[in-house]
Amino acid sequence: MKDFDGLKAVVTGGASGIGLAAARLLAERGARVAVLDLDADGVPEPLRGHRADVSDDASVTAAVSDAAGALRGIDVLVNNAGIGAVGTVEDNDDAEWHRVLDVNLLGIVRTTRAALRHLRRSAHPAIVNTCSVAATAGLPQRALYSATKGAVLSLTLAMAADHVREGIRVNCVNPGTADTPWIGRLLDRAADPAAERAALDARQPMGRLVTADEVAAAIAYLASPAAASVTGTALAVDGGMQGLRLRAPEPGR
């Protein structure tokens, strides 16, 4: 018997990186899993791919309805789709602020709104949002991105309060910098990718990036019936980036 046997999960942004790792892990642990993504064609079996743009309400409503029909219900919703933004508060215009908020924040609103009627029929309903260490630590050159993730953290808490009495748990994971295609694209654009990678590694107390599988394991925990008393929690998977304050290494050590 696996812990997700009989459960059905929807993962947004599940065609790549953290979302793909989470979708695969939930499937390995017994869930039937549908992935909603802009590009869902190459999603590996046994995952089901559904094309959806979380910034478009009609697209989300149709894909959630299709996924719920194919899976015969939804017990777990992983709101993971997200995009990046670089710069200080001066660097992005209003259109870019609206675009990134539309995906990272309103994408969660739309998908959750469409999935709630299915979650209400589940015996083990759970929502897990992919937030970020950027919600809790001030990172340079991430004003817009951090603002979206700060909003995701607050939304997670508010949703957890709204739905606790109907038995729906809502939590989020806060990854540190994770080794996914997203970071690969960021490094490709850097003037010196090796130096940028070394700087990202060094920013994490563990001295290395987080893996997508490590974040997926936290998502699966929060989504699982084993976490039945866990709601309104932000679980950091960040190599110690948020919680630790280290002294500089002593010379020769």
Ligand X SMILES: NC(=O)c1ccc[n+]([C@@H]2O[C@H](COP(=O)([O-])OP(=O)(O)OC[C@H]3O[C@@H](n4cnc5c(N)ncnc54)[C@H](O)[C@@H]3O)[C@@H](O)[C@H]2O)c1
Whether the bond into 46 is cis, omega within 30 of 0 = yes
Q: Give the residue with the Cβ less far from ligand X, 30 or 181.
A: 181
Q: Give the residue with the Cβ less far from ligand X, 124 or 210.
A: 210
* 148 touches 155 (CB < 8 A): no
Question: Binding of ligand X at residue 111 (CB under 6 A)?
Answer: no
Listed ranges 77-85, 93-101, 114-122, 222-230: which one lies at the site for ligand X (CB under 6 A): 77-85
* 234 touches 135 (CB < 8 A): yes
| Per-residue binder mask for ligand X (CB under 6 A), 199-218, x = binder | --------------------
Count CB atoms within 10 A of the CB of residue 5.
10
CA-CA distances (angstroms) from residue 118 to 1, 74, 127? 24, 5, 12
Question: Binding of ligand X at residue 18 (CB under 6 A)?
Answer: yes
* 141 touches 156 (CB < 8 A): no
Instruction: Tell me the HSE value of 40 on the side-chain side, using a 13 A CA sphere.
Output: 25
| Residue of 3, 28, 29, 38 interacting with ligand X (CB under 6 A) | 38
Question: Binding of ligand X at residue 80 (CB under 6 A)?
Answer: yes
Selecting among 13, 103, 125, 145, the annotated active-site residue is 145
| Residue of 37, 110, 112, 172 interacting with ligand X (CB under 6 A) | 37
Question: What is the C-alpha to C-alpha distance for residues 169 and 157, in angstroms, rounded to an integer?
Answer: 10
**Cα 33 to chain centroid, rounded:** 15
Place of tokens 């002593």: 250
| Residue of 49, 125, 175, 239 interacting with ligand X (CB under 6 A) | 175
Instruction: Tell me the HSE value of 129 on the side-chain side, using a 13 A CA sphere.
Output: 35
Closest distance between ligand X and the C-beta of residue 173, in Å? 8
Question: Binding of ligand X at residue 171 (CB under 6 A)?
Answer: no
145 is catalytic: yes
Which one, of 3, 155, 145, lies nearest residue 79 by Cα?
A: 155
Rg (CA), the chain: 18
Q: Give the residue with the Cβ less far from ligand X, 37 or 75.
A: 37
Token couple for 187? 């490094």
Closest distance between ligand X and the C-beta of residue 69, in Å? 19
| Residue of 13, 49, 125, 239 interacting with ligand X (CB under 6 A) | 13
* 212 touches 179 (CB < 8 A): yes
Question: Binding of ligand X at residue 180 (CB under 6 A)?
Answer: yes
| Residue of 92, 132, 146, 224 interacting with ligand X (CB under 6 A) | 132
Listed ranges 36-44, 90-98, 114-122, 228-236: which one lies at the site for ligand X (CB under 6 A): 36-44
Task: Give me the residues that bind ligand X (CB under 6 A), please.
Answer: 12-13, 15-19, 37-39, 52-55, 80-83, 103, 130, 132, 175, 177-178, 180-183
Q: Report, as residue numbers or ranges, the catalytic residues.
A: 145
